[in-house]
Amino acid sequence: MNGMSTANAIRSWGVCLAGFCTQLITVFSLNALSMTMASMALDFGVKATDFAIAASIYGVLVSGMGLVWGYAVDHIGIRLTMIIGSLGAAIMLFLCGTFGNSVTSIVVLYSGAALFVAAMGMATTPKLIRTWFNAKWVGKALALVSAGGTIAGIVVGIILPPAIESGGWSMGFYIIAALIVVCSIVMVIFVKDDPYKMGMVPFGDDPSTAKAPVKEEKKVLTEEEKAAKRKANIDALLGVLKNPMLWAVGLVWLLYQGIAYTNTTYMVVTIKEAGWALALAGIASSTMRTAQTFGNIGWGAISDFLSRKVTVLVLGILAGIVWIAMFFVLSDPEASPFGDSSIFVMMVALGLTFCFIPVLNSMNTDVFPKETLGTCSGVTTAPTPGFSTRRRLS
């Protein structure tokens, strides 16, 4: 494009693929609990809702650790942050399947996974994409990145229920861990911290602005330089916290994440308890993710023409209407106008309207400076609580 080398284009879109993988990991990990809790409850002799504390702690840690990982992205680099997070999540989920033998052990191990999954979230992807894409391409790239989350939901909805039924709940954790390792390999291959140091430019930029590749050399800092660097880091963090847009955007994220965590954690088990079979509930969840894949891409593109605020408002109204309708469908399936097909109608409608991620991520790149984009993005998600309860959605 515009004289850009093939290697540069491949690297940029490879980075986009790595961003796509971060969302795969996020949703894979979240579904690891929702898909296995019914089977674990039978094995442990407890109720599925007894695992609500695990989902709550998971949500709190993934959100709360966003600030830590966002700061890491700005200071130790995107590549190292992503690799540590992805491999750490894979290890902890593997341990869930191997050593999880009670609600308590699952809570502890799954919480450990959350600490690492947080590195895959909104603290990382906006800066990753903004680093490798021109501003006019950020919305499109982030829409494709966000599709990873919906596709992950489709994949786990199809492969995990039969795997769990045949191999037990631990097999669910093992499969998720293996998939995350594959995603980690993609990150190792493609992610670099700075295109300019590789003699490249962000996709969509003028190739003539590329510089000769730079070989980094480790500089030994004096004590005075170390002190100055620490002060600069503190000043940068304080500057982030004083940014008024930070709290406005953070409130929007707070509302969205609360609904999203509850939906992902309890949707399958709620549909099952409403009367549908587990396999059918998994397919229904995958149906929503399929629709959401197209919805994310469409609304991400729309937000490039409408203002981000208007797009979020429209999505909120539409999604709210769908949630109200779904409440009645799940409360009394037999009275639903489409019979057994009603749940699939609702899933398609929800998938096409619950598409905030690419819009909110693009909003982050619009309002926060690139130098502190990771930290700002991390702070916006930090206040989000787990939002899990011991009650069904319906």
Structural contact between residues 367 and 249, judged by C-beta atoms closer than 8 angstroms = yes
Structural contact between residues 273 and 392, judged by C-beta atoms closer than 8 angstroms = yes
The average pLDDT across 191-198 equals 90
Selection from 68, 328, 88 nearest residue 187 by Cα: 88
CA distances from 33 to 56, 106, 215, 247 (A): 11, 9, 44, 31
User: Which tens digit of pLDDT belongs to each residue from 68-78?
Assistant: 898 899 888 99
- Can you list the domains of the chain with their CATH numbers? 6-203+240-381 (1.20.1250.20)
What's the 3-state SS for 61-99?
A: HHHHCHHHHHHHHHHCCHHHHHHHHHHHHHHHHHHHHHH
| 378's tokens | 């991390």
Which DSSP string corresponds to 170-193? HHHHHHHHHHHHHHHHHHHHH--S
Structural contact between residues 52 and 63, judged by C-beta atoms closer than 8 angstroms = no
The average pLDDT across 289-308 equals 81
The average pLDDT across 182-203 equals 93
Q: How confident is the model at residue 394 (pLDDT cuts 50, 70, 90)?
A: very low
Q: Cα–Cα–Cα angle for 168, 60, 27, nearest 5°?
A: 45
User: Which tens digit of pLDDT belongs to each residue from 89-121?
Assistant: 999 999 999 999 999 999 999 999 999 999 997
User: Which tens digit of pLDDT belongs to each residue from 6-55?
Assistant: 899 999 999 999 999 999 999 899 889 988 998 999 999 998 888 888 88
Structural contact between residues 372 and 243, judged by C-beta atoms closer than 8 angstroms = no
